[in-house]
């Protein structure tokens, strides 16, 4: 797995000159360079102005953790930097582990109606976030069991590593893609609102053809234009892509699948993939729809557009043959030693 990521990184870095350097947020650089080139008398960009350019702030996440949960928090940091867009952010991402006293964090399961929800000392975590000049805080705890989304994602150390990622994506505005139980729906689903990954609308069968169904619901399904023609959004005359018995993890097709959060007979919910990190942990791949939602959040937090190297999934289409990979083996290993590797950056 690690080797595969490294290989993609190499392919990307070979295709894009000085990729490592370009990972510094591009808009900031472009602006600076324009300003500089307007004054040719200054000659080449001096060392000091380069330093100045680099001070354009990265997106910063702090992972607050008590001492018992520290290794889980550290494991999560390593996991997160393998996931797009974080895997491609290089120097424009900073993740820092922050130790905090478990008593002070005060995390506990104190919602009798939702026993898996954990809350912590938000005021203290916010204060710490501000001291560290960070954009987002995550909290890992050895106290309590479960997780919570909201403005500070929380996860307990006894839950799978994907739990924190799932909660984090709630913070970025993504909704659960599994159906809530009747009692949960009575609490959370008074007036369901469509989001980046779950949309609500009433279907109107029968649908004569797939393309008629597409044009009829194009406005309600914002990812409709990206669904491949081969991937039907109807099953017979009903709306909804058919689920496969065996999913192709990491390569699932985008479609229109019934279900998600407040889905019910009166107001159906629809989601983009058969399974995703927001439905369960079977496939925790970050598909483009999720990546876009994350990026939009990061951009609004740092107040500028983020330009990243092309997505890794683009490589799927021009994957080199096994023979080529075998022969490249030696070269890759030696080349990797020389290339500054964004995936290995420690902050
Ligand atoms: Zn959730």
Of 133, 129, 164, 130, residue with least CA distance to 150: 164
* Phi, psi of 172, rounded to the nearest 5 degrees: -85, 5
State whether residue 333 is helix, strand or coil: helix
* Residues in the 5 Å CB sphere of ion ligand 1: 176
Same domain, 208 and 298: no
46 C-alpha to ligand 1 centroid (Å): 49
Q: Please identify, among 289, 307, 325, the residue that sits at the C-terminal boundary of a domain.
A: 289
Section 73-88 average pLDDT: 97
Full residue range of the structural domain in which residue 306 is found: 2-174+290-344
Q: Check whether 254 has a pLDDT greater than 70.
A: yes
Same domain, 152 and 100: yes
Residue 16, token pair as written in the block: 């894009």
Q: Check whether 3 has a pLDDT greater than 60.
A: no
Please report, rounded to a whole number, the percentage of residues in the chain having pLDDT higher than 70: 73
Tell me what pLDDT residue 310 has.
Answer: 76
116 C-alpha to ligand 1 centroid (Å): 11
Same domain, 246 and 108: no
Same domain, 131 and 55: yes
pTM of the model: 0.74
Same domain, 59 and 147: yes
Tell me what pLDDT residue 258 has.
Answer: 98
286 C-alpha to ligand 1 centroid (Å): 16
Report pLDDT digits (tens) over 307-331: 888 765 544 444 444 444 444 444 4
Same domain, 169 and 273: no
Tell me what pLDDT residue 180 has.
Answer: 95
Same domain, 145 and 190: no
80 torsion bin: left (phi>0), alpha (psi -120 to 50), beta (else): alpha
Which stretch of 20-24, 203-207, 237-241 has the lowest confidence by average pLDDT?
20-24
Tell me what pLDDT residue 115 has.
Answer: 85
Q: Check whether 339 has a pLDDT greater than 60.
A: no
Which stretch of 26-35, 38-47, 77-86, 280-289 has the lowest confidence by average pLDDT?
26-35
263 C-alpha to ligand 1 centroid (Å): 14
261 C-alpha to ligand 1 centroid (Å): 9
Same domain, 170 and 319: yes
289 C-alpha to ligand 1 centroid (Å): 17
235 C-alpha to ligand 1 centroid (Å): 28
**Angstrom distances, CA of residue 274 to CA of 147, 172, 316:** 23, 21, 20
Report pLDDT digits (tens) over 61-79: 999 999 999 999 999 999 9
CB contact burial 320-334 (16+ within 10 A = b; e otherwise): eeeeeeeeeeeebee
Tell me what pLDDT residue 312 has.
Answer: 55
171 C-alpha to ligand 1 centroid (Å): 10
Same domain, 80 and 180: no
Residue 255, token pair as written in the block: 């479609």
222-230 own/partner pairs: CB under 8 Å, 24+ apart: 222/196, 223/254, 223/272, 223/289, 224/256, 226/254, 226/288, 226/289, 227/253, 227/254, 227/255, 227/256, 228/253, 228/254
Report pLDDT digits (tens) over 188-227: 999 999 999 999 999 999 999 999 999 999 999 999 999 9
Same domain, 133 and 186: no
State whether residue 82 is helix, strand or coil: coil
Report pLDDT digits (tens) over 156-200: 999 999 999 999 999 999 999 999 999 999 989 999 999 999 999
Q: Check whether 34 has a pLDDT greater than 70.
A: no
Domain total of the chain:
2
Same domain, 285 and 136: no
Q: Please identify, among 274, 289, 304, the residue that sits at the C-terminal boundary of a domain.
A: 289
78 C-alpha to ligand 1 centroid (Å): 22
59 C-alpha to ligand 1 centroid (Å): 24
Tell me what pLDDT residue 307 has.
Answer: 81
Section 295-318 average pLDDT: 76
Same domain, 216 and 299: no
């Amino acid at each position: 797995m690690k080797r595969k990521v490294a290989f993609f990184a190499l392919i990307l870095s070979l295709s894009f000159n000085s990729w490592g350097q370009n990972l510094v947020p591009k808009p900031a650089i472009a602006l600076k360079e324009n300003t500089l080139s307007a004054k040719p008398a200054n000659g080449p960009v001096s060392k000091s102005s380069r330093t100045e350019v680099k001070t354009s702030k990265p997106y910063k996440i702090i992972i607050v953790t008590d001492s018992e949960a520290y290794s889980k928090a550290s494991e999560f940091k390593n996991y997160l930097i393998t996931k797009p867009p974080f895997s491609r952010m290089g120097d424009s991402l900073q993740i820092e582990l922050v130790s905090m006293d478990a008593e002070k964090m005060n995390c506990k399961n104190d919602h009798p109606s939702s026993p898996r929800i954990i809350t912590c000392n938000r005021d203290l975590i916010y204060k710490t976030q501000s001291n560290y000049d960070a954009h987002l805080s995550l909290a890992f705890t050895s106290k309590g069991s479960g997780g919570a989304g909201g403005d500070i994602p929380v996860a307990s150390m006894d839950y799978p590593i994907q739990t924190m990622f799932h909660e984090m994506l709630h913070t970025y505005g993504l909704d659960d893609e599994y159906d809530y139980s009747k009692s949960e729906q009575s609490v959370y689903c008074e007036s369901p609102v469509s989001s980046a990954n779950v949309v609500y609308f009433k279907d109107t069968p029968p649908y004569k053809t797939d393309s008629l169904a597409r044009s009829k619901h194009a406005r309600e399904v914002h990812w409709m234009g990206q669904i491949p023609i081969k991937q039907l959004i109807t099953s017979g005359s009903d709306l909804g892509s058919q689920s496969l018995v065996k999913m192709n993890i990491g390569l699932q097709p985008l479609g229109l699948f019934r279900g998600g959060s407040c889905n019910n007979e009166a107001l159906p919910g629809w989601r983009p993939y058969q399974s995703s990190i927001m439905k369960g942990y079977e496939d925790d791949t970050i598909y483009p729809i999720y990546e876009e939602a994350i990026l939009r959040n990061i951009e609004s937090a740092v107040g500028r557009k983020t330009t990243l190297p092309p997505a890794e999934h683009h490589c799927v289409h021009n994957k080199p043959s096994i023979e080529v990979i075998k022969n490249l083996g030696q070269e890759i290993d030696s080349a990797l030693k020389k290339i500054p590797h964004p995936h290995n950056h420690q902050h």
